Amino acid sequence: MSHKEKDDWTKPSVMTVGNSSIHRHIHPGVYKTEPVIGDHKALSTAAAALDLDKGNTSQSIDMSLTSILSAEAIENAVKDCQAPDTFCYKKFFQLCGLSSKTPKEIKDVFQILDEDNSGFIEESELKYFLQRFVPGARTLTEAETKTFISAADDDNDGRIGAEEFQTMVLS
């Protein structure tokens, strides 16, 4: 496709996939999704197609924890540890369903929790661990944060890597 034939990103358009549609707005890269019947897989496919359409070779699709874990299980896990100094990572992972997920799904959750995309979950990120699951949840206490890190940090670098996280979740 020549440059002149290329899609004009200044004009709004609609893409329909399955039972869902994605509206492409006037600003490049800004999308408003409007599921007609809530077909998440179709929306992901459409979003990837739009991303490729504008010449971006990256096919990354924004994930959320509720695309991997059930919202009800997450809510129950956070409620179970809402009092300070009651957080137990093993129980939390079981209650939210993470301990029964595949290694790929656990890695996906890790990437969501790694807020700064450094490849590690640092103490500063871990403090807000529960808030990544439920906005408005409490922060972990200093003792809970240190216990959490020491349980997973096999190489003693003060942070949790993806493999360390996966080992902890599946232990």
Residues in binding site: 114, 116, 118, 120, 125, 153, 155, 157, 164
Q: What are the strands, taking DSSP E only, across the chain?
A: 13-17, 20-24, 31-35, 120-122, 159-161
Burial 75-108 (b: 16+ CB within 10 A, else e): eebbebbeeeeebebeebbbbbbbbebeeebbeb
Packing angle of the helix pair 142-152, 162-170 (nearest 10 deg): 100
> What is the C-alpha separation between 160 and 171, in angstroms, rounded?
15
Q: Are 68 and 105 in contact (CB under 8 A)?
A: yes
Rounded CA-CA distance 50/57 in Å is 11
Q: Detail the residues annotated as belonging to a binding site for Ca(2+).
A: 114, 116, 118, 120, 125, 153, 155, 157, 164
Are 110 and 91 spatial neighbours (Cβ–Cβ below 8 Å)?
A: no
